[in-house]
Amino acid sequence: MRFETPTSVDQAVALLAADPEARLLAGGTDLLVRLRAGNIAPSTIIDIKRIAEMTVISQEDGGWRIGAAVPSAEMNEHAALKADWPGVVESADLIGSTQIQGRATLAGNLCNASPAADSVPAMVAAGATARIAGPDGTRDVAVEDIPTGVGKTSLGKGELVTSIHLPPKPARSGDAYLRFIPRTEMDIAVVGCGIYVTLDDQGKISDARVALGAVAPTVILSQSCADTLIGTAGDDAALDALAAAASAEAKPIDDKRGTIAFRKDVAGVLAKRAARIALARARGDS
C-alpha cells in the first residue's frame, strides 16, 4: 500500500483517476476501521488533509462552504456557522465521541454512504450541495443525490467531494436534526430526522424540507412530509399529520436495533419533535 499526500485538488484527482484501487482518506474514522478489519485492501491511500482549500470553513454569498477535510469539532467551534445552521452542526456533533469528532468530516460521512449517517439527513434538509471535482472539472450535486445504496455513491472514476455548501439561510427559517439511539452517546442511529422550515411574515410555513435517515438504504427527502407543513402555522394538527406522513414514508428493515413497526413509529415521533425545534428557531424563540 502507498500513502499519498496531494496538496492540490488537481493532484488528488490525478492520483485517484490513475488508480481505481486507491482510496481517499479524510478523517479515517470509517476507512481505518474497514482497513484494519481487512474489509478493504486499497493500493494507495490518498490523504486529502494537506489540500489547503479543503481544510477551511468560509462564507460564500451569504451561505457557507465547508471543506471536505474539516473535522466536525471545528464546525462545532464555529459560532457563526452554528448560529445559521444549528441542525447541521448538531448532527455532525452527534458523530461518535470527542475523539471521533476531532477527525470525522461531513464529506466522509456522506461518501461512506451508511444509511444511518447522522449528518446526511440534516444536510439534505438544509438543501446542501456537494462540490465534486474530477477529471472533467467540477460540478455541484444535491447531497441527496450522492448516496445511491448502502456503501455506494454516484461519484464517478477519479471524482472526489471537495466541499459541502450550505445555502444562505433565509429570514424566519430554522433547521433541526434528531436521532434515536438506545444510549445518549456513541451509537448508530435507529432513525434520524432532519427538518428545515421557513415562515412567511404571517408566521405560516412557506417552505419545508423533511429528510429521514436509517429507514431506507439511502436518505429519504420526503415531499409528502413537507406538504403536511407548508401553508400551516405548524400547529398540533399539522405536526400530527407530519408524524403520520413520516411513519408512512419510512421503509425500514427489521434488525437487532429496531423492528420495522418501531422504526416507523419513531420516525413519526422524531419528525414531530424536530419540527418543533426547527419552528422555534424560525420564530426566533430559541
Partner 1 sequence: MSQIHITTTINGDETEYLCEADETLLDVLRDHLDMTGSKEGCGTGDCGACSVVVDGRLVCSCLMLAAEAEGRAIETIEGMGQGDQLHPLQQKFLEHAALQCGICTPGILVAAKNLLERNPNPSEEEVRYWLAGNLCRCTGYDKIIRAVMDTAADMRGAA
Ligand X SMILES: Cc1cc2nc3c(=O)[nH]c(=O)nc-3n(C[C@H](O)[C@H](O)[C@H](O)COP(=O)(O)OP(=O)(O)OC[C@H]3O[C@@H](n4cnc5c(N)ncnc54)[C@H](O)[C@@H]3O)c2cc1C
| Residue nearest ligand X, CB atom distance | 108
List the single partner that 102 binds among partner 1, ligand X, none, CB under 5 to 8 Å by kind.
partner 1
Number of H helices, E strands in the chain: 11, 14
List the single partner that 98 binds among partner 1, ligand X, none, CB under 5 to 8 Å by kind.
partner 1
Rounded CA separation 24/150 (Å): 18
**Binders in 68-97 for ligand X, by CB under 6 A:** 68, 94-96
By CB under 6 A, residue 30 contacts ligand X: yes
**Binders in 94-153 for ligand X, by CB under 6 A:** 94-96, 100, 103-105, 107-109, 111-112, 117-118
By CB under 6 A, residue 161 contacts ligand X: yes
> What b/e string do you get for 102-135 counting C-beta neighbours within 10 Å, with b at 16 or more?
ebbbbbbbbbbbbbbbbbbbbbbbbbbbbbbbbe
Give residue 232's Cα distance to chain centre.
Answer: 27
Compute the least distance from the CB of residue 183 to ligand X, in Å: 10
Rounded CA separation 259/44 (Å): 40
List the single partner that 26 binds among ligand X, partner 1, none, CB under 5 to 8 Å by kind.
ligand X
Compute the least distance from the CB of residue 97 to partner 1, in Å: 2
* Longest Cα separation, the chain: 60
User: What is the binding site for partner 1 (CB under 8 A)?
Assistant: 1-3, 5, 25, 27-29, 32-33, 35-37, 45, 47, 49, 71, 73, 96-100, 102-103, 184-186
Listed residue (259, 234, 264, 239) closest to 249, CA to CA: 264
- Please provide residue 146's backbone torsions phi and psi, each rounded to the nearest 5 degrees: -80, -55
Decide: 180 and 171 in contact? Cβ < 8 Å: no
By CB under 6 A, residue 205 contacts ligand X: no
Residues found near ligand X in the complex (CB under 6 A): 23-31, 33, 48, 68, 94-96, 100, 103-105, 107-109, 111-112, 117-118, 155, 160-161, 186
